[in-house]
Amino acid sequence: MRDWLSNATEKIERLERQLNMRPTHEPESAHQPEPAHDGEVSAGEHSGEHGSKHAGPAGGEKSRPTMEQLKERKARSRQRVENAGEIMTLSMGPQHPSMHGVYRAELDLDGEVIVAARPEIGNLHRGVEKLAEQLTYHQVIPLTDRLDYLSGFAMNHGYCEAVEKLMGLEVPARGRYIRTLASEMCRVANHILWLGVHIMDLGTQTFFCICFRDREYVLDLFEMLTGARLTHSFARIGGVAKDLPDDFGRRCREVIDFLPKRVAEYERIIKNNRIYYKRAKGVGIFTSEDCFAWRVTGPTLRSAGVARDLRKDEPYAAYAEVDFDVAVEYNADVYDRFLIRMKEIRESCKIIRQCLDNMPDGPFVAKDAAHTLPLKRDVMRDSAAMIQDFEQVFRGPRVPKGEVYVATEAPKGEMGVYVRSDGGPRPQRVHFATPSFYHAQAVPPLIEGEMISDVVAIFASIDVVLGDTDR
């Protein structure tokens, strides 16, 4: 308990330090060869050796607005709120084409300008956290990929990391690599889908279909790897469910060779499109201060100039052993969130390639009779494995008493999992601090003062999935 608290305190202090020392506040001095934020993010980092990799790609050249400039831009839209006249209340959602599920917002409108917004969530509440208390630790896994159903494996992964930390279980190297690989595949699939939906909200339906087609390639890989396309339930406590199938490496390489080309094509279509630029540039500004205040993480935070990425800052799985850059942009608007995600797809492809290149041999799931399920093929042949299987399925794993909080970098932001054990086979309490929940509550400050057309663009840009919000 003490340990967890001190860790949390340390984390908060580090975040505050990042906030105060962000380079966007002061002009850069010419003497520093590297942008100031590269050093300071890893200051106070226990894993110091990764600090040097923090540079955003090709940093330094870009024009970086200061915090004052960003606030000034934001103030323009706040001005419209203050000048509001007669108010009309509009209920947007839950059955609205671009509320991405069943989000509902009550908007106070002055003409087309949003004066106030009151979000409502809970229309997709399924009681996952309460259900988890009735199930053994193994049985919770299929619930987790229904949280953010667009990146199912990343959810499995976060939960398993938390439970393994509680059990003190070491995942074998191959298991860690396969998890990293699958998580990054999730990120690619999620960002491609995000792009399609975001562009569709701006009025182009064709692009949605193009993005869906390209996402299919990743889903095909998932089908090959896990047997499922959407709800994978592929992670297991102590590793993953299956080894890489034959020929997976070749197929996967084909896809990750192909996707960066497609991303370049997306950028060619969208990045310099005048209408997109007009619709997205300077819209929905959410500065790093706002992000910290509302606990907004992931690409939205990184688009505000903070190189915060748990894969780098607190590496889990095999992220410490692969080389990648954290994408950072500085304008904190919808346009930069698009740029961030495109960069992240490229970086994810890089990570997937490294995982395939350096895939270690050995077991993919830990051999630990007290905590993990045995391999199915052993159960029928080996009596010890059969007993282990019986024990795990009917009783559940033996988990020491205690509680743990682990955060992982899901595609949409930081996904925290809190697990408390009373020593029994079932968790006493599981809590998922999913990114979409926090993002959904940050919608009012994001959209107030903007226009109805921007609401859909901004709402899409922070990437909210209602399954993830309501749990």
| CA dist., res. 98 & res. 92, Å (int) | 9
- Shorter beta-carbon distance to other proteins: residue 119 or 158: 119
Which residue in 10, 16, 112, 220 binds other proteins (CB under 8 A)? 112
Cα angle: 157, vertex 158, 162; to 5 degrees: 115
Which two structure tokens, joined as six digits, stand for 294? Answer: 């509302």
CA dist., res. 329 & res. 307, Å (int): 9
Helix residue ranges, H only, 227-282: 248-270, 274-280
110 membership: H or E segment, kind and range: strand 104-110
Q: Looking at 5, 87, 88, 387, which residue binds other proteins (CB under 8 A)?
A: 88
Query: Quick check: 202 binds other proteins (CB under 8 A)?
Result: yes
Q: Can residue 85 be called a binding residue for other proteins (CB under 8 A)? A: no
Considering the complex, what minimum distance in angstroms separates the CB of residue 100 from other proteins?
11
Query: What is d(CA 296, CA 302) in angstroms, rounded to the nearest whole number?
Result: 10
Q: Which two tokens stand for residue 240?
A: 């993953």
Scanning 43-51, 91-99, 237-245, 424-432 for contacts with other proteins by CB under 8 A, the matching segment is: 91-99
* φ and ψ at residue 149, rounded to 5 degrees: -70, -5
Q: Which is nearer to other proteins, 210 or 464 (CB)?
A: 210
- Residue 463, classified by CB atoms within 10 Å of its CB into exposed (0-12), middle (13-18) or buried (19+), is buried
Which positions from 435 to 464 touch other proteins by CB under 8 A, shown as an x/- string? ----------------xxxxxx--------
> How many residues at the interface with other proteins, by CB under 8 A?
29
The least CB distance from residue 23 to other proteins, in Å, is 32
| String marking each residue 144-183 x if it binds other proteins according to CB under 8 A | ----------------------------------------
DSSP state of 174: H
Which two structure tokens, joined as six digits, stand for 378?
A: 């052993």
Nearer to other proteins, 12 or 90 (CB): 90
Query: Quick one: CA dihedral 244, 249, 250, 253, positive or negative?
Result: positive
Q: Choose one: 18-26, 95-103, 156-164, 441-449; the region binding other proteins (CB under 8 A).
A: 95-103
Nearer to other proteins, 269 or 386 (CB): 269
Alpha-carbon dihedral of residues 174, 176, 179, 185, nearest 10 degrees? -90
Contact characters 204-243, other proteins, x per CB under 8 A:
xxx-xxx--x------------------------------
Pairing of strands 104-110, 88-92: antiparallel
Q: Are 284 and 333 in contact (CB under 8 A)?
A: yes
Residues 259-298 that bind other proteins (CB under 8 A): 273, 275-276, 278-279
Under rule CB under 8 A, residue 96 binds other proteins: yes
Find, among 219, 211, 296, the residue nearest to 255 by Cα: 219
Nearer to other proteins, 149 or 208 (CB): 208
Contact between 27 and 300 under an 8 Å Cβ cutoff? The reply is: no
Q: Which of 19, 71, 94, 98 binds other proteins (CB under 8 A)?
A: 98
C-beta of 261: minimal distance to other proteins in Å?
Answer: 17
**Could you list the residues that contact other proteins (CB under 8 A)?**
88, 90, 96-98, 112, 199-206, 208-210, 213, 273, 275-276, 278-279, 451-456
